[in-house]
A and B are shown apart, each in its own frame.
Chain A
Amino acid sequence: MEHATGLVLPNSGHNRDAEASKMGMWLFLFTELLLFGGLFLVYMVYRMLNAEAFLLASFELNIALGTINTVVLLVSSMTIAMAITAIQKGDRKTSVLLLYVTVALSLVFMVIKFFEWSAKINYGYFPGMEVYQNLPAGESLFFFLYFFMTSLHALHVIIGAVFIAVVIYRTNKGFVTAEKYTLTENAGLYWHLVDLIWIFLFPLLYLIH
């Protein structure tokens, strides 16, 4: 890099700033919270207007599968938090192993979600299907929101898994070390957000009877 004035800046290309990077991730997570917040707002309003219908429709969801998926996400949150502990201690092998476990758990979550969605689609509850069209207005709204919110969440699960896969690759390449682990931390923050959203989706969709 050349400067016409010949001035050399004290910062010569080393632009790593762990704190700013982490703050950037948190600010992004706040926008994510408000994105899902908007959907929770819509859910609240429609629920107030269609209390009985939402209640009836929510009985169609499988509490057992929802609970298993909650446990899967909570465990995966712990494994990625432990992966950060491991890399902070300089234990790259354990860190990578825990990241692999986290990705594996994200796949388990998606497979269970896939079976849940398939069951609902087989009943014809997917927006646009015949059974869905003939449901009372409030119940079809519930299923619309169910599919919209869980699939937006699932999209975040997939993005999170890809993010973690990138961290595994970078860690194996030696770019992530005990002194430089912001990438792992940020992947962890993102993954915990995915968990946080599910912590609210699960009771609102499955449990509130």
Chain B
Amino acid sequence: MEHKNEQPNEAQGHHISSYKEHFSTLAALLLLTVLTVAVSVFGADLRSLSVATALLIATIKALVVAYYFMHLKYEHKLYRWLLLVVVLLFVLFLVVTSIEYLNR
């Protein structure tokens, strides 16, 4: 098992994630899933709050998958910048469209 966490900008995919790391990632994702279902089932009266928490938890889960399972954490930082640009572009679509519809 080799860990080169100190060198995340390594050009080739030298980093090998351990089985244990993948297992911990899964455990975190399952925990977040239980949490989001619980908020939805038991917090049904807090409507807008449950929408916000569901989306927040989904975003955290997505980042965990991208960073650990998709190795984004160990890739060249260009990948993280590209992802940020794409996500910001999409958020811009959402915001502009919402403003348009909310002002009708």
Contact = CB atoms under 8 A, between A and B. Distances in A.
A77 B69 contact: yes
Interface stretch (A1-9, A40-48, A103-111, A131-139): A40-48
Interface residues of A, number: 45
A81 B69 CA distance: 6
Contacts of B58: 199-200, 202-203
Contacts, number: 112
A30 B82 contact: yes
B93 to A, nearest CB: 6
Interface stretch (A120-128, A156-164, A169-177, A187-195): A187-195
Interface in B30-47: 30, 33, 36-37, 39-41, 44, 47
A81 B22 contact: yes
Interface of A: 18-19, 22-23, 26-27, 30, 33-34, 37, 40-41, 44-45, 48-49, 63, 67, 70-71, 74-75, 77-78, 81-82, 84-85, 88-89, 185, 188-189, 192, 195-196, 199-200, 202-204, 206-209
10 contacts: A27-B82, A30-B82, A37-B90, A44-B98, A45-B101, A48-B101, A74-B30, A78-B69, A189-B70, A192-B65
